[in-house]
Amino acid sequence: MADRSSYGERADIAYHETFLLHGRLRWMKVAIILNVAAIATFWWANAPAGFRLQHSGGTPLGYTLGTIGALIMVWLTMIGIRKRAMTSGHWSLKAWVSAHVYLGLSLIVLVTLHTGFNFGWNIHTLAYALMWAVIVSGIVGVFGYVYLPVRLSDVRGDMTKRQMLEIIRSLDGRISDAAQPLDRSQAAAVQLSLDKTILVGGLFQRLTGLYFGCGNRRAIRRLRRMRRKASDAQGAVLDRIAGMLARKQEMLKKVRRYVRVRTYLEAWLYVHVPMTFALLAALTAHIVSVFFFL
Amino acid sequence: MSFTIHRVTQRAHGGEPIQRSKRVEGDVASIGRGTDCDIQLPDLTIGLHHADMRITGRGEVAVEALGDYTFEAHGTVVRRAKFRVADRPKLVFASYLLAFGPETTQDEVAVTVTHASDGGEIADQSSERKVFSLAPNAFGLRRAAWLLGLLVLAIGLAVPVAFHFLNLNASSVAPQEQWSPGPLSQGHSFLQHNCEACHAKAFHAILDAACLACHQNKPGAKASTAIAVRVLGMGSLFPPDPAQDHAAQNLLSRATGGAGVFEHPAVANLSNFMNRPGQRCISCHTDHVGNDGHRMAATQATTAETLTTDCTSCHAALKSRLPDTAVLDVVDWGQHPDFRLLMASLVARGRPNFDRDSMTDGPFDKGLKFSHRTHLSPTGDVAREALENSKPVAPDGRLSCSACHQPDMEGRGFLPIEMTKDCSACHSLRIRGIDGRPDTLPHGDIAKAIAKMRSINNVDGDTGLRTTRLRPGTSEETSTDQSLTSMTSTVTRKIRALFTNAGATKGLCYGCHAFVAPKDPDSVEFKVVRVQLTNRYLPRSGFDHSVPAHLLNANGKPGCVQCHATNSSESLSNVIIPGISQCKLCHGNATAPWGEAAASNCTECHGYHNTGDPPAREIYERPWRLPPGL
């Protein structure tokens, strides 16, 4: 396989293997071995002493765990550089992401043992909390990458992103054309759909799917009330417009569902990356401070 | 008169705009959304018939909105406007712009209609990205990351370091505190905002000098006061306790040497290299963990480490590292050597002197004729006298231990035995005084007792001592010495009888004390054999009498004699301190009658800085009481 891949063919042509299952869970095994070894050593070092864990981060074992944890953290951040360079085989990006995920998860055990379960309102616990923020956002990201891309194409169906937007735009034009004979208040209602429609909204709306006050919905409701009082000629126009507003609503739902999935796929990074930087800074402050005030 | 209306439409994909013109005859033209209007503006915010424009004169036009419709002229919202065409005015109707201008003939007015927001393309590349991707809508990921990282670095690192090096320690803000891994112990809490008090030098571990700056042992009165003043000035509520070291520093470093990987010399060297040498005060006294890590009182008593491993890491094979040591090796409680009494003499004011480390076998207590067996017999004179003198008695009728042994103020042992307090109730020093009235001999000074005897007997008329006046400048003693020679044989006989085993007073003093008799049969120069009573036989252990279980016998009933074999103690030299086997009946014995082994940790009996002050011991504030019946 490796030979074939070196000639530029896909090494994994026979099947698709996700980064989670890469190399028969090689990195998961590495992480588990690392954690079991850490727990065993921790037990061996502390059990005879009755687990007196105050300042256990400053014991030789504590330094060892801390150093390993810090090195792993620094390596994990290298994925930001690594993903922009192309390699293959054992050091393919997939292998790298697999290691990133499993070694990142192994930090939960390594670093928690390093803390000796001592927490407080200080820079040290801040670093620990930031680590959790990075890991949890990373877990969200992993779940997103595993489950969401399928849903993404499901939602979109056989339409392209541009097609979805074009349909809404052309509906807007047709609604506007159709509404020309309407009187002032009816026209104002239709205008709500044209002006006040919230296509996908901000981050909150993208994530929650809550679009209260969307102009299209308000236009639909308002026209429904007006329809009862309208004359026959106006009623025919209003019915046509209502039909188009309903179709626009359907298309809006589709776009929003799609965008919601896309947002989930991207939003975790907005926690993961800044928190990683904050973590590296807090880690630096943690390391310097413990040696500054030995 | 007429209007010429030019309609300009932008092409959908750019290029030359399309212009269509039409002529409206007459001096009035209508503006609105309706198809019947002369200028039709297909915008839903515009009324079906929104406004009329009218040529009012040569080159003059008036525009008037119908109903409550409005439009914009000269940047303001108006309902009517009148203007000269030559000024080329522009009117805004919702999204449409109407530009007026003169046409070729003076009677004609040109109106150019353009749509303001033409050419908008929702589905262009940038808006598509904006709709579907989060990035253009959220904060810049990279900038946010860098900002957050630099912020943490500045607040968490740069500011505290700056405060340290700029010596801004006295300010009300202490950014270094965010480095503190936890609260200081109660005793050190006044230093919470004063990191540099202990962390004197950056990147150097706290050395013992920093601790001893306050906790110096035996500093001397002057230095002690200076330290107290300084520490109280720093905000402490009490002066620091001087710390006595467990052993000399060189002995400590020679005696240590663990077995584990982390005690390996390579690790020790690494520790030194990292400016963290071992065998420092803070090797044990880890602060910043509240009161948990500060090994002062019972707080550490529950962990096995301090209790056994810490001590035995040196003491299990101490002899091999310190061949000259007098201390025996102790591997564990099971192999703890039996007790060796460290005798101390009662030298002054009832305070035992422990300076001598003699570890020899007895006899220890000297100078008194005393038998515990006789005193604690349920029958006989002592028991009878105890009842007569209403002294406390045990249920079996014997004299209670508490009749003589008084609990001390520290709540651990007993006050030193004092004759006047503990013996005199029965061992009365009463004698017949002047005129047969009862009198008491003073205790503790032979000369005074002899003087008392002389004065009583002189008044009786047996001697002429009283007639001898003291001359100015002469002391009573010298006069007594002089008078001794003139004493009658009766007085001498009475006095001698006090110190010997025969005579009228039945050897009042002799009953308990041993004396060295003078060679001259007429002399009363008796010398008492010095009484030597040890108050604490095992000063390097902190046995606590007040522990309730320590006062019970095997049946759970109060019983001192459970441990102290009083029945076999015929004389004072027969020390009735129990051996370690007595302790092992409960401590570390899982098969004890009550089914549970009492603790057998080192710190149950021993302390580190003061071996006789075990950390497991409770801190007492009141004297303890012996329960009745002991």
Q: Chains A and B: how many Cβ contacts under 8 Å?
A: 186
- Per-position b or e across A51-83, b if 16+ CB within 10 A of its CB: bbbbbbbbbbbbbbbbebbbebbeebbebeebe
Measured between CA atoms, the residue of chain A closest to residue B146 is: A277
For residue A248, give both structure tokens. 């626009």
Strand partners, B284: none
Q: What is the pLDDT of residues A43-100, one digit of tens each?
A: 988 877 667 777 778 888 899 999 999 999 999 999 888 877 766 666 788 888 999 9
Q: What is the pLDDT of residue B411?
A: 65
Q: Which residues contact B184 (CB under 8 A, 6 or more apart)?
A: B191, B192, B287, B288, B290
- Quote the longest CA-to-CA distance of chain A: 92
Say what the ipTM of the complex is: 0.80
- Respond yes or no on whether the N-terminal peptide bond of residue B593 is cis (omega within 30° of 0): no
Q: What is the pLDDT of residue B343?
A: 60
Cβ contact, residue pair B138, A274, below 8 Å: no
Our separate counts of H helices and E strands in chain B read: 17, 18
- The dihedrals phi and psi of B348, each to the nearest 5 degrees, come to -150, 135
User: Considering only CB atoms, which chain B residues are within 8 Å of A291?
Assistant: 203, 274
Instruction: Encode A110-160 in three state secondary structure.
Output: HHHHHHCCCCCCCHHHHHHHHHHHHHHHHHHHHHHHHHHHHHHHHHHCCCC
- Per-position b or e across A106-123, b if 16+ CB within 10 A of its CB: bbebbbbbbbbebebebb
Sign of CA dihedral A144, A146, A149, A150: negative
> From residue A232, how far is each of A227, A238, B29, B542, B582 by CA, in Å?
9, 10, 30, 107, 113
Question: CB distance from A217 to chain B under 8 Å?
Answer: no
Residue range A278-288: mean pLDDT, rounded = 95
Cβ contact, residue pair B148, A176, below 8 Å: no
Residue showing tokens 């370091």: B161
Q: What is the pLDDT of residue B524?
A: 84
Mean pLDDT by 10 residues, chain B (630 residues): 87 81 89 90 87 88 90 87 89 89 82 71 60 73 90 93 80 80 84 84 82 82 87 87 76 65 65 69 75 45 46 83 84 85 56 44 69 88 85 85 84 84 86 83 89 76 41 48 55 83 70 87 84 78 82 73 82 78 85 76 81 69 70
Residue of higher predicted confidence among A5 and A102:
A102
Sign of CA dihedral A196, A201, A206, A212: negative
For residue B126, give both structure tokens. 């940038």
User: Considering only CB atoms, which chain B residues are within 8 Å of A276?
Assistant: 145
Cβ contact, residue pair A166, B123, below 8 Å: yes
Return the amino acid letter for A64: T
Q: What is the pLDDT of residue A279?
A: 97
Q: What is the pLDDT of residue B156?
A: 92
For residue A246, give both structure tokens. 């309903």
Q: What is the pLDDT of residue B319?
A: 87
Q: Which residues contact B134 (CB under 8 A, 6 or more apart)?
A: A203, A206, A262, A263, A266, A267, A270
Question: CB distance from A44 to chain B under 8 Å?
Answer: no
User: Considering only CB atoms, which chain A residues are within 8 Å of B131?
Assistant: 161, 165, 199-200, 255, 259
Measured between CA atoms, the residue of chain A closest to residue B132 is: A259
Closest CA to A65 of A28, A25, A34, A22: A34
Residue of A231, A265, A293 best to disrupt the B interface, most CBs of B under 10 A = A293
What span, in angstroms and rounded, lies between the C-alpha atoms of A285 and B156? 6
User: Considering only CB atoms, which chain A residues are within 8 Å of B199?
Assistant: 292-294
Lowest mean pLDDT among A172-186, A280-294, B362-376, B428-442: B362-376
Residue range A147-156: mean pLDDT, rounded = 81
Task: Give the side-chain half-sphere CA count within 13 A for B19.
Answer: 8
Question: CB distance from A84 to chain B under 8 Å?
Answer: no
Closest CA to B477 of B517, B450, B499, B456: B450
Return the amino acid letter for A71: L
3-state secondary structure of A100: helix
Tell how strand B515-516 and strand B28-32 pair up: unpaired
- Quote the longest CA-to-CA distance of chain B: 173
Contact B492, B524 (CB under 8 A): yes
Answer yes or no: pTM beyond 0.80.
no
Taking the alpha carbons at both ends of chain A, their separation in whole angstroms is 53
CA A194 to chain centre: 32
